[in-house]
Amino acid sequence: MKKSILFVAAAMLLFGSMNLRAQKFEHLADTPAMGWNSWNKYQCNINEDLLKGIVDAMVSTGLKDAGYQYVNLDDGWHGQRDADGFIQCDAKKFPSGIKSLADYAHSKGLKLGIYSCCGKLTCAGYSASLGHEYQDALQYARWNIDYLKEDWCYCENVNPKGAYALMRDALHDAGRPVYFSMCEWGSNKPWEWAKDTGNSWRTTGDISCNWDSWTGILDQNKVLRKYAGPGHWNDPDMLEVGNGMPVNEDRAHFTMWCMMSAPLILGNDIRNMKPETSAILLNKEVIALDQDKLGVQGLMYLTQDNVEYWFKPLENGEWAFCIFNRNKDAKKCTVDWQKFNFKDDLSTCSTDFNTKVYSLRNLWTKKNEGTTKKIKTIVVPGHDVVVYRLVLKK
C-alpha cells in the first residue's frame, strides 16, 4: 500500500515536472510581434554601429511609439565558441559585445533579438545550436536577450518537433522570458504541432523584395488562418516595405500582413526612410488591425476578376474590410454590403449588414466615407488596396 502511494507520488512528481518543462513563456505574443530584423536589407553585413543606429532610429522616427519594440540580429553576428563551448560574438563586428548592445536597446525602451539554427551551422555557415541548446539559451539569458529566431539549415535527420521543443525548454530553464520565433519555412507543417512550442512559425520560404514573392507567400499563408491566435502566430516572413518596391505595392504588402495578423518585422534601413515609407510603417490605424486583441487572422471572403475582398473580425464587433487589387490596372468595385452578410465560423463573428450599420473609416486616406447603408463604389488602383475599419454606429 505504502509502496503504491510512493509510486503514485513519484509519478506525479515526474509527470508534474515534465509538464512544467513543456511550457513556453506566457503573454510574450498576445498580439503579433513588432520590430526590425537585419536580414532583408543587410544579410550578414551587420555590426555594432549599424545596430545602435537602428535602435536610435526606432526611437527618433516614432516607430517605437507606434509599437515596434524588437531589434533583431539575424545571421552573421557569431564568432567562435569558447573553450567551454559557449558561443561568442564576432568581436570585430561587435567590439563591445552583445550584452552591451542589449543593454543599449533596453536603455531606449526596446528589446534585443538574436538568431540561431537547429542545425550544427546557421544558414550562412556560422556555429549553431545543435548539441548546444542549453548552453546557447544560458548565454542569451546572460546577455539579456529577449527574442530568438531559430532557423532550419543543416537539419538532415533532426526531428523538428523535438529540436524546437528542446530549445523552448532550454529557454524556459534559462529563466529569462524570450519570444521564440520558429523558422523552419513551413517544411514540417509547424502550425499543426507548434502551438505550445513557439510564439510564431514561418509558414513559407524566404521573401524577396518583389510583388510575385510576397503575393505567393500570401497565398500560402492565407489558408492557415485557423491555426493562428494569441501567443502563436503564422509568420509569412519579414517585411520588404522600403526596400525598393513601388509605394502602392509596399502599401498593399503592409496592409495584407496586417489583415493576416502577421508579425510586423521591418526589414529596411529605418535610419534613412522616404516619407512615403514611414507613412506606411507608422500608420497606427492599419497597425491596429494587426494588433487587434481578438487575434483572429483575416479571411479572403471573395475573389472576382483578380480582386480580393477580405474581412478581419476585430474586438467590440468591428471589422476590417480590405479590397486587394491584384491587377496592374485600377478596378472599379461596386460593394453591395448585403452580399457580404456572413458568419465567420472560426471567430463566430457575423457582419450582420442587414441589421447593423457601420461607418466607413478609410485607413489610408484617413477619411470617413459614409456608412454601410448604401451600396458603395470604390476605385482600387492597380497592385494596391483600399482598407476600411467598419465602426459600429452607436
The three-state secondary structure class of 270 is: coil
Query: Nearer to ligand GLA by C-beta: 184 or 292?
Result: 184
# residues near ligand GLA by CB under 6 A: 9
- What is the smallest separation between the CB atom of 293 and ligand GLA, expressed in angstroms? 28
Q: Which stretch binds ligand GLA (CB under 6 A): 2-10, 14-22, 119-127, 132-140?
A: 119-127
Q: 6 phi and psi, to 5 degrees? A: -60, -40
- Closer CB to ligand GLA, residue 39 or residue 353? 39
Q: Does 39 bind ligand GLA (CB under 6 A)?
A: yes
Stretch that binds ligand GLA, among 18-26, 79-87, 93-101, 118-126 (CB under 6 A): 118-126
Cβ-based nearer residue to ligand GLA, 124 or 307: 124
Residue ranges in 343-387 assigned as alpha helix (H) = none
Does residue 290 carry a catalytic annotation?
A: no
**Cβ nearer to ligand GLA, comparing 194 with 320:** 194
Query: How is residue 339 written as a grid cell?
Result: 452580399
What is the identity of the amino acid at 86?
A: F
Query: What's the min distance (Å) between Cβ of 390 and ligand GLA?
Result: 35
Candidate list 133, 151, 235, 308; residue touching ligand GLA; CB under 6 A: 151
The answer to whether residue 240 forms part of the interface with ligand GLA (CB under 6 A) is no
Q: What angle do CA 290, 296, 297 make, to 5 degrees?
A: 70
User: Please, which of residues 204-223 interact with ligand GLA by CB under 6 A?
Assistant: 206
**278-287 residues labelled b (16+ CB within 10 A) or e (exposed):** bebbbbeebb
Residue list 323-352, contact with ligand GLA (CB under 6 A): none
Of 74, 75, 136, 151, the active-site residue reads 151
- Axis-axis angle for helices 247-259, 211-222 (nearest 10): 10
Shortest spacing between CB 130 and ligand GLA, in angstroms: 15
According to CB under 6 A, which one of 34, 61, 75, 251 is a site residue for ligand GLA?
Answer: 75
Distance of closest approach, residue 153 Cβ to ligand GLA, in angstroms? 7
Which residue blocks in 22-175 are alpha helix, DSSP H? Answer: 39-42, 48-60, 63-66, 98-107, 133-142, 160-174
For position 158 contacting ligand GLA by CB under 6 A, the verdict is no
Residues 177-206, mask of contacts with ligand GLA (x by CB under 6 A): ------x----------------------x
The correct pick among 74, 136, 150, 240 for binding ligand GLA (CB under 6 A) is 74
Contact between 319 and 358 under an 8 Å Cβ cutoff? The reply is yes
Question: Is 352 one of the catalytic residues?
Answer: no
The active-site residue out of 90, 103, 206, 269 is 206
> What is the Cα–Cα distance from 29 to 155, expressed in whole angstroms?
27
Contact 209, 191 (CB under 8 A): no
DSSP 269: -
Residue from 31, 40, 116 nearest 287 by CA: 31
List the alpha helices (DSSP H) in 117-225.
133-142, 160-174, 211-222
With CA atoms as reference, report the closest residue to 41 among 381, 353, 272.
Answer: 272
Grid coordinates given for 360: 466607413
In terms of DSSP bridges, do strands 358-362 and 367-371 run parallel, antiparallel, or are they unpaired? Answer: antiparallel
Which residues make up the interface to ligand GLA (CB under 6 A)? 39, 74-75, 122-124, 151, 183, 206
- Please give the positions annotated as active site: 151, 206
